Structure 1
Amino acid sequence: MSGYQISRRTLLRAGTAGAALTVGGLPRSAFAQSATRQENVRVSFDGFAAHAEPAVAANPRDPANLIAACMAGEHDDPGLIAAYASFDGGKSWSSKGALPLPAGSVVADDVTVAFTPDGRGFVAAMATSEVSRTDRGVYHWRTDDGGRSFRAPATVVSGVFVDHPTLSAETGCAGGSPARLYATWVGDEHQSLGFTRSLDGGVTFEAPRAIQGAADTGISDTRSASGPNGLVCAVYGTDPAPSDGGGGDGGDGGGDGGGKTPDDKGGGGGGDGGDHQFVVKAVTSADGGATFTAPAVLGLSDPAVSLPGGVIANGGPSVAVDPRSGALYVAFATRQPGADHTDIVVCASTDAGATWSAPVTATPTTGAVVYFQPELAVDHKGRLWCSAFALADGLVDLVLVCSPPGQPAFTAPLTVTSAPFDPTPANDGNPKHGAWWIGDYQGLAATPYGVHPLWNDTRTGQLELYTALVK
């Protein structure tokens, strides 16, 4: 990656005085010394040449049971959905291979994973025949045995424009009733936020609808999460108004920054024309998706940071719900004008999205490090964990920070990767993605045993999946 030089001596300089020890060449903070990071474990041994946009979830009935999924393929343009399962807390993994695509579909992407409180697991993704832009859908593959086997794909929504879907499950079921599942996606050619729900544990889904009030221009990169008592929160980006000073949609060099379906707009790279920026907004439901709040503006994000050498560090917002208290958290990347680094910031709400805190910086504000692709998870103690990629000197590490319950206040980062990796082998040949593309997001799950980040890196020469238990 030519032309991109950042001194790694400055990386994570905001750590505490205990930063003398190093892991993977990055300073290690007092948090890192008190936390236990187990060895990196390779998840993907399935023969595919590329793995991107992984997701992971833990079985609430058996926290040692994890399922993971990602986009995978024989070349650098993955269009299959691969699944994996672990029954020993992430120490070892079995591959389920490529899940069967829905009839008529030729490509799938944008993966999410969820468990219902009764231990049923779901892998969900967008799939399309590529006949037209409206011949898309969201489908799920259900497992009743922790990922040992999966059912044939079932339809969540079909025959509409879909991008960046998320499937989430509530964290509590009153009176033993079937768990509710919620799906959101970018709809109507990036002009609305689509929504549907299942009241019978994923057997059927209601007719899709647009979330009232969330119609906007250039909607992209939506993510959603659900919690107890009918709580659902969806976050997304929109093109900023001219007065916001944003970077627009990046023109023809933009695109959606990720999903492998051609011609999408929104959330893409700014190319050499500068960072792409969007306004991060959140809509929340406290009644199981029957109604949603008006969109709340959380801040201005840089989901596609343009760097020298044609590099575009991309990624959208992420959202998590405390499964017990219902506290909401949203993370996104931002860069101040002229800054040589990016920050991951987090907003919080403790009143079901009625009000939100101002963004709190989660990553060090000194050192020329580009942080991108944040992921959030809340553990059984109410602690908020945030993972992110850290790019410096052309190499990438995965780092993790933690905040106690309540308003976010983060520790210095722990480096999770055992060694930084060079992302340049991950060049999919698509100019809208820049010099390389490693997906739009990574995975993170919390259990009573610790947290399980899931990421892709190129230490083998191609994009494979890795995880590590941190506790």
Structure 2
Amino acid sequence: MPDPVVPRRAFVAGSVIGAVHMAVGGSAGTVPVSPVVPANVQVTSDRFAAHIEPCLAVNPRCRDNLLAACRVFEGPLIGIAAYASFDGGGTWSCTGLLPGLVADSDGNASVAFDARGRGFVCGVVADGATRRGDVPLWVTGDGGRSFQPPVIAIAGGGGLTDHPSLAIDHGSASSPPRLYMAARLYGTADDGVVFVRSRDGGRSFEQPRHLDPDAGAQAASPVAAAGADGSVCVAYLVAAASGDLILRAVSSTDRGRSFGAPIALARIGSMAPGLGTVTAKSGPAIVAVPRGGGVVAAVTGWDGATGTSQILLCASADHGRSWSAPLAVATSQQTVYLQPQLAVDELGRIAVSVYALSIARARIDVMLYLSEPGRPAFGPPRRVTTQSFDPTQAVNTGRTRWLGNYQGVATSGTAIHPIWTDTRTGDTQIFTATLR
């Protein structure tokens, strides 16, 4: 379901802690963690009361130029703001709300750069009273210092377009890039996951197409990735009649002109347990390997019967035509994993960033798992956060503390930049780090 503006489902405070302790009993020992922790940088320090759901992209023409966007709060109203760094993430500046925005019920930003160094931000601009909303696209030619007025990429019509995910076929710097976007439609006769593309560098978009008509309104949380040789892949979740969630993917090898049949990648009971007074829903993640036909998708899984949380990863070597069985990157009865994100560096190493909620301490750290080059074989995780934080200090919406539904990660050469929502300051701010 789409995110309400203020009222959200409330759980009994502390329910997850007690329930998991009863399920775990004497659980296994902790996983070894690399002792090297990178410096943490606070991205947001501005007039907005709170910040959640950050996303991040690196300019391929200037790797010190990072572009981030997130949801920002003005009282009970929500907008989208962009932030830029020109020193590799050491310092950040904010341009305020994106052009044309008036805070209401906006959010779900997604960012990307093309091969020319132009930056793109999309997000949902919604009317909280009518629950209707479109997805505009903003373009910056100066790394995020300023943005052009937006164009509408997906029109919600009589409904709401939610959770857009933007991907770009970098191609040649001398030709217009192709932009791809997957999103979820609500409140229309054609509810479900839709796909649009632009063949003129984001000046105009084709009409939305449904990617999985059979799943219809049971499909949600789409994420898109564009790979080499014109491949596009979209992963999303489908609610099964049994109550389980199925991670599915559809792929195209002709730059989004046509897609193959949906493929089921993994089945999970749920992504995470209820978190008491905190709302922090999870979704899938996807990334394309820069060279070759590799695509990787990830999701968290929660087994309530055993109190076990996992990070599951599925891989394809042929542009998404076929997939491996799910690989458990991490399994724990002491930690609840939330909101996985994926990136691939220039060596072909897969980076998985994730919220790790300690059941015993009820505190969250960001952890990073890094694979060997070219294959999903992971060593011990690296802790990213210099201090754990309390999720119950997240933005207060009136009925719940909202930590957001996703975080971000991007790579620049062999540097990895996680970005996340953090409450160490006593309110909800965005932090980042650089791992080299």
- Normalising by the residue count of structure 1, what TM-score does the alignment of the two structures yield? 0.82
Aligned CA distance change for structure 1 residues 459 and 60 (closer, same or farther; 3 Å)? same
CA distance in 2: counterparts of 1:350 and 1:430, whole angstroms: 46
1:372 and 2:338 matched: yes
Which structure has greater strand proportion?
2
Give ranges in structure 2 of 5+ residues lacking alignment. Answer: 1-12
Q: Which residue of 1 aligns with 2:171?
A: 172
Aligned CA distance change for structure 1 residues 311 and 462 (closer, same or farther; 3 Å)? closer
On the 8 A contact 1:331/1:375 being kept in 2, the answer is: yes
Aligned CA distance change for structure 1 residues 415 and 206 (closer, same or farther; 3 Å)? same
User: Which one of 448, 462, 465 corresponds to residue 413 of structure 2?
Assistant: 448
Deviation beyond 6 Å, 4+ runs, structure 1: 9-12
Aligned CA distance change for structure 1 residues 168 and 214 (closer, same or farther; 3 Å)? farther
Q: Which residue of 2 aligns with 1:154?
A: 151
1:208-219, aligned counterparts within 5 Å? 208-211=208-211, 213=213, 215-219=215-219
Report SS of the residue matched to 1:375.
Answer: strand
1:66 and 2:66 matched: yes
What is the Cα deviation at residue 188 of structure 1? 5.0
Q: Which residue of 2 aligns with 1:13?
A: 30
Aligned CA distance change for structure 1 residues 412 and 426 (closer, same or farther; 3 Å)? same
CA distance in 2: counterparts of 1:123 and 1:294, whole angstroms: 29
Q: Which residue of 2 aligns with 1:390?
A: 356
1:71-110, aligned counterparts within 5 Å? 71-75=71-75, 77=76, 79-101=78-100, 106-110=104-108
The CA deviation string for residues 106-127 of structure 1, in whole angstroms up to 9 with x for no partner, is 4311110010111100111011
On the 8 A contact 1:340/1:369 being kept in 2, the answer is: no
1:127-146, aligned counterparts within 5 Å? 127-130=125-128, 132-133=130-131, 135-146=132-143
CA distance in 1: counterparts of 2:177 and 2:246, whole angstroms: 32
CA distance in 2: counterparts of 1:447 and 1:213, whole angstroms: 37
What is the Cα deviation at residue 216 of structure 1? 2.9
On the 8 A contact 2:342/2:352 being kept in 1, the answer is: yes
Cα RMSD (Å) = 2.4
On the 8 A contact 2:48/2:73 being kept in 1, the answer is: yes
What is the Cα deviation at residue 226 of structure 1? 1.0
Aligned CA distance change for structure 1 residues 374 and 214 (closer, same or farther; 3 Å)? farther
Identity of aligned residues (%): 39
The CA deviation string for residues 375-427 of structure 1, in whole angstroms up to 9 with x for no partner, is 00000111000000000121110000011234412111111000000011225
Give ranges in structure 1 of 5+ residues lacking alignment. Answer: 16-27, 247-276
On the 8 A contact 1:301/1:332 being kept in 2, the answer is: no
The CA deviation string for residues 149-203 of structure 1, in whole angstroms up to 9 with x for no partner, is 1111221122433111112111323x82210001111125483221111111111
CA distance in 2: counterparts of 1:55 and 1:203, whole angstroms: 22
Report SS of the residue matched to 1:176.
Answer: coil
Report SS of the residue matched to 1:424.
Answer: helix
1:345-384, aligned counterparts within 5 Å? 345-363=312-330, 365-384=331-350
Aligned CA distance change for structure 1 residues 78 and 232 (closer, same or farther; 3 Å)? farther
On the 8 A contact 2:362/2:390 being kept in 1, the answer is: yes
1:469 and 2:429 matched: no
CA distance in 2: counterparts of 1:202 and 1:113, whole angstroms: 13
What is the Cα deviation at residue 307 of structure 1? 3.9
Aligned CA distance change for structure 1 residues 212 and 38 (closer, same or farther; 3 Å)? closer
- Normalising by the residue count of structure 2, what TM-score does the alignment of the two structures yield? 0.88
Aligned CA distance change for structure 1 residues 309 and 67 (closer, same or farther; 3 Å)? closer
Moved more, 88-97 or 105-114: 105-114
